[in-house]
Structure 1
Amino acid sequence: MINRRILSLWFPRMGAERLMRRIGFEPDLPFAVIAEEANTQTLSALSPGAEALGLHVGLGLRDALARCPNLVTRTRNDRAEMAFLAVLRRWAGKFSPWVAEEPPDALVVDLTGCAHLFGGEAALMEQVAADCAEHGLTVRMGIADTVGAAWGIARYAGLGAAAVRNGDAIDQEAPATRSRAAKRRHWERGGARPGDTAPEGPAARIAPPGRTRAAIAALPLPALRLDPQIVAELTRLGLRRIDDLADQPRAALARRYGRQLVLRLDQAIGAVPEPVSPVAAKVRFSVRLTLPDPIGLEADMLAALDRLLPPLCDRLAKKGQGARRVRMECYRADHSMVSIDVGLARPAHDPDRLRPLLAMKLEEIDAGYGIDIIRLVAHVTEPVQAQQLRGQAAVTEAALARTGPAAPTLDDLVGRLGARIGLDRIIRHHPGDSHIPEKGFVTLAVAWSEPAGEWPPSPTPRPAFLWPPELVDAPLHPRLPPVFRWRGRRLGLVEATGPERIAPEWWLDDPNWRSGVRDYWRVICESGDCLWLFYAHGGAMSPGWFCHGSFA
């Protein structure tokens, strides 16, 4: 049986070194990346020069500036750091195809069956260190049979338990208790035990196959990826190293500190499997056109679209995808960029359906001193099922009736209107599952819904216009009045149809229906108005007549 071999890569200064590479900042100078946590600015990444001055991650910005007034700072960009970590993941693919990200600053690589291609695990680690040093990155590595063990070795191998600060350390105790602390043995105060060593070199970072437990026994408890509060409680009990914890009864540990503590310990020693889940390669649909001379005329940009759309649509069709949103990026000669974005009512990979939408928005592009690069990106796609027509004439006719010329025409109309006013503003109504007039329909966006089928029949016709019930001045009795006042007008009754009784939904407390049971009437007035009146019999509110809508 072949043992799994896991490589953990930790970049402790990734946030700072990413920015230092861009601005050309020297590593020996103090530099820090600032992050906001709970309305407080703290240091999230430091340069070697800043660490040499006593600064550390988590220190407040005010305290850091008090210790080092010439500290250079930059604000943390989480999205840029995640993108940089993705770049490192692609670089680590040269050592193994099985690479996963551990945000915000680490990678885990499954090296099973790959290390011999680089001359062994020690040679592979030297290659990793050389590559990182070439690109100005600090890396700490660890190799073991499990993900948890490799994670702990990468961060804590060679440091010993004394490197973990806790409340029992002599330099953290109050002056009044330091005299009593001197009577304790030094390893009880956080120091190294007899026989503890901290070897250096690649050998200290490699756990021999099958000896994972022995390799991580001397590591401090944070190497198990435990919550800091649990680590503090265990430390106060005198449990500082992994071997101290491994000898304790599991049931008692789980009962007092939760199952997560036992799970992390079992994952580290290999009793519980922990798979490595690599990030699937993202398929990108984009094409680019580099121009020999800058352009600025709309006709030239249309010609560029005609060259870019066919290859983009071919890539979409081969993957069975249709573009839902397409972005056109125009890079100008002054190194600036302007873009336009269009959406489609239905995913498509037909150039004739994409070109009119993009052409409508070309007038929004300011060419400036000229455009020398045009990039077309389908950044939102959806699967598109290819339609296959069968040989029978009846089946073919039915398929054309369902998805014939009418459907693309409506989709193109929605797409063009959406390019002007936005797809979210184009709506349609679907039947709702309720007998309440206000809930008899639901409003959906046309671009993300299918046309409604047949509406369920109603006992009586429903008005074309609905509004919140408006008070009608009429006698307070259920009989329909011959004359009533509404909106300041005196209206006389000519014809009436009804009543239709509608009761509120007893399982819901609707504030608009606290007036109780309603009797609806369709009335035609002398003025020609065709209104929808109802008499509320009164529940939690007073009874009365109201106008709820109007027929066309």
Structure 2
Amino acid sequence: MPDRRILSLWFPCLAAERLIRARNLAVQGPLAVVAPQSNTQVITSLNGAGLAAGLRVGQTLGEANALCQGLVTQSADPLAEAAFLARLRRWAGKFSPAVAEEPPDALAIDLTGCAHLFGGEAAVMAAVDSDCAGMGLTVTSGIADTKGAAWALARYAGQPVAVARSGDSIDQEARATRSRAAKRHWTRGGTAPQRVAVPDHLARIAPPGRTYSALSPLPVAALRIDPKITAQLARLGLRRIGDLLGQPREGLARRFGTGLVLRLDQAMGHVAEPISPAPPPDPFAVSLRLPEPIGLTDDLMAALDRLLPHLCARLEERGRGARSLRLEAHRIDQPPEVVTVGLAAPGHDITRMRPLLELKVADIDSGYGIDMLRLTAVVTEPLDKRGTDGMFHPGRPAAERPTLDDLVGRLGVRIGLEAITRRHPVDTHIPEKTSKTLAAAWSEPARDWPPPPAPRPLTLCRPEMVQAPERPEVPAEFRWRGRLWHLAEARGPERIAPEWWLDDPEWRSGLRDYWVVTTAEGARLWLFYAHGAALSPGWFCQGSFA
């Protein structure tokens, strides 16, 4: 898609530089942002001095301290980092209205038709560098026809390709040998040609329609693939993207999975990868700063009693109902504690929200005290005149709605709303497909179940083979589940045909004649005789009556 131009911005030191800005830290040496992972502290971000000291993201704190004395560490704050990236997105809106966040440290900008307003793409990059330098941020950028290509240029343009240590690697040839070879192969008169230095910002701009040549010299890691696949490709000598472009696609997909081929197609523009601008900021949030830190559950609930009326009034004023609530408890000594609750039906009723939050507040670790609370309606839905919960309930009494919804909501706080399901009827004549499972929080109870054409068993199972003569007549005796059964009474048959437009492995035996069989031993079974199609005919049992 050569008519599109995408700008990718990567902030490699975002979390560390955010802390320096927010806390006015006078850090001259290495600074590392760490987060707990598997009972250890792992580096999630470094400032420029930390990167220059040889440290890397993903390194354990113990290893980093051994390599770099005097390392300053700060705890990661994912919520604050996400909020800072959102502010950067709003800043990037000066270049284009289509800006998308790429957590945790990047932005993607659809620059199509906007670059000329700033004097061209190189001028846009210069403006980005100037603005970020003024904000104290490190940024690298790339511009190309596709999002994947711009992402690759922003991170890998100008970097050498890593060489796998294998005995047959020609790239391990000594530099002096390669230098002599270059001079030896220059046969024309005069001085050998010299490489012309290209400005860094121009090297990160792929001209329109030149994605192939721009990506070919980059390492395969620039395709946003798993590092394990990168290592496998390197062992085969496929270290640059250009090495992959000439390989058969079927072989790459068969050996390394379809993910590699998909990333390659996205980078080259064969598969669309649109940029989805972030939605406008959610206005349904209220906060409360406390004069003194609190930690008791009763104090937290008292604070919530002051927040909930304001949030519900704002929702009611806008005609919306909350589906999901997030409570952030900001502690004075540690990152904030965050709890989330979901409602079975959207609404703005305080009496329905408070009990759900109360169940979660007890799980908050207040540390040395909480000095601010923030309550946000993360997911909201429009309400209408069909009901205060925004849903239409045919034949459902008004008094029953909050009772059932509150029950589902309370259970959802403990086990998750997705774990609570209900059955709904399906219009089909196949016995095992007459119902489907739906999430209780996003569906309504079925009121009118269509009656079956004949009685159905209480327990329905997959067809189990019955040892009996292979003829349509109900056998006088048969063996099922290792036991011999004797016929006392049989009612039927009820013929059911398979869905010919679907290839169902369970119905490859063709037509079925179902019988309600009462045995002399007292059991009532649901047997059927399969007339045979792709499989041989025979008797089967598919359920039992009460």
Question: Fold-level match, TM-score > 0.5?
Answer: yes
Out of 175, 179, 189, the position equivalent to 2:179 is 175
C-alpha separation in 2, matches of 1:378 and 1:469: 48
**Structure 1: tracts of 5 or more residues without a match:** 1-5, 34-42, 116-123, 157-162, 199-204, 206-218, 235-263, 265-274, 390-397
Per the TM alignment, residue 500 of structure 1 is displaced from its structure 2 partner at its CA by: 0.9
8 Å Cα contact 1:46-1:57 kept in structure 2: no
Secondary structure of 1:450's match? coil
Residue 401 of structure 2 corresponds to which residue in structure 1? 407
Give 1:459's aligned residue: 453
Q: Which aligned pairs between 1:348-387 and structure 2 lie closer than 5 A?
A: 348-367=347-366, 370-387=369-386
Aligned-pair CA distance for 1:411: 1.9
- RMSD of aligned C-alpha atoms? 6.1
Q: Secondary structure at the match of 1:174?
A: helix
CA contact (8 A) 1:296 1:371 kept: yes
Equivalent residue letter for 2:401: A
Match of 2:314 in 1: 315
User: Which amino acid letter does the alignment assign opposite residue 137 of structure 2?
Assistant: L
In structure 1, distance between residues paired with 2:366 and 2:277 = 42
Per the alignment, residue 450 of structure 1 pairs with 444
Change (3 A) 1:352 1:538: same
Paired with 1:107 and 1:475, the residues of 2 have a C-alpha distance of 69
Offset from partner CA, 1:506-525 (integer Å, 9 cap, x none): 34333323333321111234
Structure 1 contact 514–539 (Cα < 8 Å) conserved: yes
Q: Is the 8 A contact 2:470 2:539 kept in 1?
A: yes
1:341 paired with 2:340, answer: yes
- The Cα shift of 1:317 comes to 2.4
SS for the counterpart of 2:196 is coil
TM-score if structure 1 supplies the norm length? 0.61
Q: Give the distance between the partners of 2:51 and 2:373, measured in 1 at CA.
A: 43
Query: Per-residue CA shift, 1:427-482, capped at 9, x if unaligned?
Result: 22222343221222211111122333533443212222201223334444322234
Residue 39 of structure 2 corresponds to which residue in structure 1? Answer: none
2:87 maps to a residue whose letter is V
Q: In structure 1, how many angstroms separate the alpha carbons of the residues matched to 2:50 and 2:176?
A: 25
Deviation per residue, 1:527-546 (Å, 9 max, x gap): 54332111233444444332
- Equivalent position to 2:196, from 176, 191, 207: 191
Hey, what does 1:416 align to over in structure 2?
410
Residue of structure 1 in register with 2:284 after alignment: 285
1:245 counterpart residue number: none
- Map of 1:519 onto structure 2: 513
Judge conservation of contact 1:538–1:544 (CA < 8 Å) in 2.
yes
More deviation, 439-448/366-375: 366-375
Rounded to whole Å, the distance in 1 between the matches of 2:380 and 2:191 is: 63
3-state DSSP class of the match of 2:499?
coil
Q: Is the 8 A contact 1:12 1:105 kept in 2?
A: yes
- Give the drift of 1:499: 0.4
Contact 2:145 2:208 in 1 (8 A): no
Asked if 2 retains the 8 angstrom alpha-carbon contact of 1:434 and 1:440, the reply is yes
Task: Report the CA distance shift for 1:374/1:519 in structure 2 as closer, same or farther (over 3 A).
Answer: same
Supply the AA of the counterpart residue of 2:182.
R
User: Between Structure 1 and Structure 2, how many residues are aligned?
Assistant: 459
Equivalent residue number for residue 136 of structure 2 = 136
**TM-score, normalised to structure 2's length?**
0.61
Deviations 1:34-88 (A, max 9, x none): xxxxxxxxx999837967x9x9999xx9xxx9xxx7698999x998876544322
Tell me by how many angstroms 1:497 deviates.
Answer: 1.6
Question: Which residue does 2:20 correspond to in 1?
Answer: 21
- Which consecutive residues of structure 2, in runs of 5 or more, have no partner in the other structure? 35-43, 119-123, 162-170, 218-266, 268-273
Change (3 A) 1:164 1:96: closer
Task: Rate the CA distance shift 1:139–1:339 in 2: closer, same or farther, 3 A.
Answer: closer
Question: What letter corresponds to residue 190 of structure 1 in structure 2?
Answer: R
Query: How far apart, CA to CA, are the structure 2 residues paired with 1:354 and 1:84?
Result: 29
Distance in 1, matches of 2:282 and 2:6, equals 27
SS state at 2:357 partner: helix
Q: Is the 8 A contact 2:334 2:367 kept in 1?
A: no
Deviations 1:265-314 (A, max 9, x none): xxxxxxxxxx9986442214222233334444444333333222111112
How far the C-alpha of 1:502 sits from its partner, in A, is 1.9
Q: How does 1:104-253 map to 2 (within 5 A)?
A: 105=106, 132-133=132-133, 135-138=135-138, 174-179=178-183, 189-191=194-196, 222-224=205-207, 229-231=212-214
Instruction: Please give the per-residue CA displacement for 1:348-387, whole angstroms capped at 9, x wherever unaligned.
Output: 1111221222234444445555544333222222332344
Within the alignment, does 1:502 sit opposite 2:496 as a pair?
yes
Q: Do the aligned partners of residues 46 and 531 (structure 1) sit closer, same or farther apart at CA in structure 2, a change above 3 Å counting?
A: same
Q: Secondary structure at the match of 1:224?
A: coil
Residue of structure 2 equivalent to 1:329: 328
**Shift in CA distance, 540/111, structure 1 to aligned 2, threshold 3 Å:** closer
Classify 1:82/1:515 alpha carbon distance in 2 versus 1 (closer, same or farther; 3 Å).
same
Residue identity matched to 1:458:
P
The answer (yes or no) to whether the contact 1:523–1:531 under 8 Å persists in 2 is: yes
| Aligned counterparts of 1:517 and 1:294: Cα–Cα separation in 2 | 73
* Structure 1 residues 366 and 280, CA gap change in structure 2 (3 angstroms): closer
Q: What are the superposed Cα offsets for residues 115-158 of structure 1, whole Å, 9 maximum, x if unpaired?
A: 9xxxxxxxx9999878644542246899xxx999xx99xx99xx
For the pair shown, the structure with the greater C-alpha radius of gyration is 1
Q: Which of these residues, 413, 422, 428, is aligned with residue 428 of structure 1? A: 422
> What displacement does 1:324 show?
1.5
